[in-house]
Amino acid sequence: MKLGLVIDLDTCVGCHGCATACKQWNTSGTIGPLSDKDPYGKDPNGSWLNRIRTYEVDDAPNSKTVHMPMSCMHCEEAACVTVCPTGASYKRAEDGIVLVDQDKCMGCNLCSWACPYGARELDPNEGTMKKCTLCVDRIYDEKLPEDERKPACVLTCPTKSRVFGDFDDPDSEVSQLVRERAGKQLMPELGYNPVNTYLPPRNKPIVEVQEVTSLPESLKQWVNKLIAR
Partner 1 sequence: MHPAFSVLVFTVMSGAGYGLVTLLIIAHLSGFTSLQSTNVLLSGTILAVVLITGGLLSSTLHLANPKNAWRSFSRFKTSWLSREAVFAVLFYPFILLYLIGIWSQGSDISGVFLFCGVLAAILAMVTLFCTSMIYASLKTIRQWHSSLTPVNYLILGLMSGSLLLMSVLSISAGKIPQELRNITLAMLALGALVKIIYLFWIGKPTGSTINTATGFTQASVRLFDQGHTANSFLNDEFGYTVAANKLLCLRALMLVIAFIIPFLLMLMADKWLITLAALLAVAGLLIERWLFFAEARHVVRLYHGDQRT
Which residues contact partner 1 by CB under 8 A? 16, 19, 43-48, 51-59, 62, 65-66, 68, 70, 79, 81-88, 103-110, 112-118, 121-122, 124, 126-128, 184-191, 198, 200
Tell me whether residue 129 or residue 139 sits nearer to partner 1 (CB atom): 129
Q: Taking the complex as a whole, how short is the minimal distance between the CB of residue 52 and partner 1, in angstroms?
A: 5
Q: Taking the complex as a whole, how short is the minimal distance between the CB of residue 180 and partner 1, in angstroms?
A: 17
Q: Taking the complex as a whole, how short is the minimal distance between the CB of residue 118 and partner 1, in angstroms?
A: 4
Q: Taking the complex as a whole, how short is the minimal distance between the CB of residue 175 and partner 1, in angstroms?
A: 19
Tell me whether residue 80 or residue 155 sits nearer to partner 1 (CB atom): 80
Q: Report the distance separating Cα 23 and Cα 27, nearest Å.
A: 7
Q: Report the distance separating Cα 163 and Cα 169, nearest Å.
A: 14
89-91 and 64-70 strand pairing: unpaired
The string of DSSP codes covering 32-79 is ----EESTTSSS-EE--S-EEEEEEES-TTS-EEEEEEE-----TT-H
Q: What percentage of the chain's residues is helix, strand, coil (to nearest 5)?
A: 25, 20, 55
Tell me whether residue 1 or residue 10 sits nearer to partner 1 (CB atom): 10
Q: Taking the complex as a whole, how short is the minimal distance between the CB of residue 179 and partner 1, in angstroms?
A: 17
Say if CB 80 and CB 89 are below 8 A apart: yes
Q: Report the distance separating Cα 93 and Cα 75, nearest Å.
A: 12
Tell me whether residue 2 or residue 67 sits nearer to partner 1 (CB atom): 67
Tell me whether residue 44 or residue 158 sits nearer to partner 1 (CB atom): 44
Give the torsion sign (CA, 124, 13, 61, 186): positive
